[in-house]
Amino acid sequence: MQNFMDENFLLKNETAVRLYHDYAKQMPIIDYHCHLSPKEIYENKTFKNITEAWLYGDHYKWRLMRANGVQEEFITGSANDYDKFMAWAKTVPMTIGNPLYNWTHLELQRFFGIYDLLDEESAPEIWEKVNAQLNSEGFGARDFITKSNVKVVCTTDDPVDSLEYHLKLKEDSSFAVKVLPSFRPDKGLEINRDTFLPWVEKLQEVSGVSIHSYDDYLTALESRIMFFHSVGCLVSDHAIDQMLYADTTKEEAAVIFSEALKGNKVSLEDEKKFKTYTFKFLGKHYAELGWAMQLHINALRNTNSKMFKVLGPDTGWDSINDENIAKPLAKLLDLIEQESGLPKTIIYSLNPNDNNIIAAMIGNFQGGGVPGKIQFGTAWWFNDNKAGMIEQMKSLSNMGLFSRFIGMLTDSRSFLSYTRHEYFRRIVCALIAEWVENGEVPNNIEFLGKIVQGISYQNANEYFGFEL
């Protein structure tokens, strides 16, 4: 029986052990999609206690605490930080089988040198030990990033954002890590949401373009793309909760936009047309600038209306959508490919039933001399666990090139989440080692080690052009 989370955690045979310890472990991290605050990075935010670092924004933990019967007061409510930590500590033993059980202990091990199991009994001492470290030198936001050997962080940013802190970080030679914005124009595409018109107002203000027409709108969007590019942006990101497509023309999209500008809701068919044409426009500009375009498809967000009113988005009330994606996705990719050529594109679906659809789809649009140009994105959110990662990687390897996979990201709001890359790398090494043990893959450790280092780091460096 294997010891609990020792140095060979998840590594079931000698090949896996060698691949992880001799090849994967030392590779730097490129976190090309996360929700960290550039302000907190710039200010090297410190954390008064482990509750602030762990529980203030992590809806993954919040969901498990709720499932464990913890009252909301001890999750996002008015309880004090110690009581919230105790509520999480009581929940942790109940999370066995969930990745948070392992992530929690990995974070205690890697950042605080604590190898005890976290539970109600050990919590008081762990609270003291961790907080003593958090309140000492070297435990700020920047320190967690540099200690994790992170070379690039791509945050998620609204096109109307000033990028004030990215600009400040760019000028700060004391911090060698690249902190780059990602262009996430969701509010500018969701034409029927109440956020649309206020966002257009803000776009008008920050771009200096008076927006009276769809042409003006596209001009303003382009100006923000160029601004983001000037700050170092190389990635865009789109939450496509429902994959939509409709044949359309710029003239049709312009009429639809004008209707929305008057404050009118548009039909679903017109929403499809507006989104299709605007995506075509965006994809063209992404391709021209060498950006990668991320599509995060099939999330079912804010399902609990009562709690959405209280807590807002990204607070643990989302789940997996089951909208069909194949045809509208293929049509959109084909439209952009025909018109301007697709940008580098990374496709994620929150529904693992879409794994084979995406793994097959990406093969339809590879080319341009770019290895892995169209990527099947790593197991996302509810799939960010051992089974979900293995299933995604098996689909990819069954139909595409696993060796060209750009690998893991944290997608997190916590500075302690970089151990997710270790968790992922261990799973990659175990999967390849299983193929070796089965005689499916030659036991050439140098060759396999090179592939592991590609998936862990080098592929992403080359793919995004970070030039590290």
Ligand X SMILES: O=C(O)[C@@H](O)[C@H](O)[C@H](O)C(=O)CO
Nearer to ligand X by Cβ, of 35 and 386: the residue is 35
Quote the least distance from Cβ 347 to ligand X, whole Å: 14
Residues 133 to 162: which contact ligand X by CB under 6 A?
none
Nearer to ligand X by Cβ, of 239 and 431: the residue is 239
Nearer to ligand X by Cβ, of 107 and 411: the residue is 411
Q: Tell me how far apart the alpha carbons of residues 184 and 245 are, in angstroms, rounded to a whole number.
A: 19
Helix 99-112 × helix 59-67 angle, to 10°? 130
Residue with tokens 């909760």: 241
Q: Tell me how far apart the alpha carbons of residues 142 and 144 are, in angstroms, rounded to a whole number.
A: 6
Quote the least distance from Cβ 218 to ligand X, whole Å: 24
Q: Are strands 182-183 and 178-180 parallel, antiparallel or unpaired?
A: unpaired
Quote the least distance from Cβ 45 to ligand X, whole Å: 19
The answer to whether residue 466 forms part of the interface with ligand X (CB under 6 A) is no
Quote the least distance from Cβ 446 to ligand X, whole Å: 35
Q: Which residue in the set 61, 187, 272, 296 belongs to the binding site for ligand X (CB under 6 A)?
A: 296
The answer to whether residue 381 forms part of the interface with ligand X (CB under 6 A) is yes
Q: Per DSSP, what are the bridge partners of residue 236?
A: 183, 293
Query: In Å, what is the CA distance from 51 to each residue of 112, 133, 317, 328, 358?
Result: 14, 13, 21, 43, 38
Q: Tell me how far apart the alpha carbons of residues 21 and 7 are, in angstroms, rounded to a whole number.
A: 9
Nearer to ligand X by Cβ, of 156 and 355: the residue is 156
**Token reading at 63:** 């969901």
Contact 431, 2 (CB under 8 A): no
Nearer to ligand X by Cβ, of 41 and 335: the residue is 41
The answer to whether residue 56 forms part of the interface with ligand X (CB under 6 A) is no
Quote the least distance from Cβ 35 to ligand X, whole Å: 5
Quote the least distance from Cβ 351 to ligand X, whole Å: 14
Residues 75 to 114: which contact ligand X by CB under 6 A?
none
The answer to whether residue 307 forms part of the interface with ligand X (CB under 6 A) is no
The answer to whether residue 314 forms part of the interface with ligand X (CB under 6 A) is yes
Q: Is 239 exposed, middle or buried (0-12, 13-18, 19+ CB in 10 A)?
A: middle
Nearer to ligand X by Cβ, of 271 and 411: the residue is 411
Nearer to ligand X by Cβ, of 15 and 102: the residue is 102
Quote the least distance from Cβ 411 to ligand X, whole Å: 4
Among the listed residues 444, 367, 418, 337, the one whose alpha carbon sits nearest the alpha carbon of residue 27 = 418
The answer to whether residue 312 forms part of the interface with ligand X (CB under 6 A) is no
The answer to whether residue 187 forms part of the interface with ligand X (CB under 6 A) is no
**Token reading at 34:** 């996360």
Q: Tell me how far apart the alpha carbons of residues 243 and 396 are, in angstroms, rounded to a whole number.
A: 21
Nearer to ligand X by Cβ, of 210 and 319: the residue is 319
The answer to whether residue 308 forms part of the interface with ligand X (CB under 6 A) is no
Quote the least distance from Cβ 163 to ligand X, whole Å: 18
Quote the least distance from Cβ 61 to ligand X, whole Å: 12
Nearer to ligand X by Cβ, of 216 and 318: the residue is 318
Dihedral Cα 175, 177, 183, 187, nearest 10 deg: -70
Quote the least distance from Cβ 361 to ligand X, whole Å: 20
In a 13 Å sphere around the CA of 33, the CA atoms on its Cβ side amount to 25
Q: Which residue in the set 12, 21, 35, 110 belongs to the binding site for ligand X (CB under 6 A)?
A: 35
Q: How many residues bind ligand X (CB under 6 A)?
A: 6
Q: Which residue in the set 206, 239, 399, 441 belongs to the binding site for ligand X (CB under 6 A)?
A: 239
Residues 383 to 442: which contact ligand X by CB under 6 A?
411
Determine the residue type at 13: N
Site residues for ligand X per CB under 6 A? 35, 239, 296, 314, 381, 411
